[in-house]
Structure 1
């Protein structure tokens, strides 16, 4: 089970480059439920993800991941629909949490989103974000990667 909140970012941290980061490329074979292929650094991952209806404003999803070979990744990536997503993910410690800050490239240049995962719904509901976070878009489908890939302007 994955429990998370997602935010638009209004200001990037000044020391952004001091945090660990990795390049990500991903594409979608299906968007409901989500079936995604992702290159995460030197890893290749197939992910099944289905959102669970929850009365909270958190994203609660069932998620299953499997490692892929490079060849399997390339084959599945070539079959994907929509515009592939390319982004850099920064991992920023914040209290007991880790902020995953995504800086998008290519068709999504200028979009900055942050996700924070939680151990429980109550933990997520009590989370106080840092000042550099913008609007909470956890329940806005337009900011899911699956939606973005199918609605690119390019």
Structure 2
């Protein structure tokens, strides 16, 4: 069950707190191949199981950026903020991939709320995220993810007005 916040203000009060850990998610070869198609990154360590079996990782591995792209999905089961009008990915302050993600690995993410800063369109949120692999001894991704979220409009306001 994800940790739930009733609104952006309640979430903002959690700066410095652990937001939770999401559920396990399995990385499949099909997902890796689809990501390779979408990005044009067809390096053999990702998409050639036969060659990769004799490579440095003993099989194919997920792209680091696939792991990063999955962070929002991985965090859905960790925490939830209700009554948001919108949220967008703004960027990252730091990303590292300390360990590979072999095909068929299970990964999950945990998060800590680092910062909330008011902006003209809502709030800029910084969430420190650690993605771990089941049975791994090091994280597979460590990232400070930056979002911009805005709360739901107050009753009687249009969707374009800030509350």
Normalising by structure 1, what TM-score?
0.31
**Structure exhibiting the larger radius of gyration computed from Cα positions:** 2
**Higher relative contact order, structure no. (Cα contacts within 8 Å, ≥ 6 residues apart):** 1
More strand by share: 1
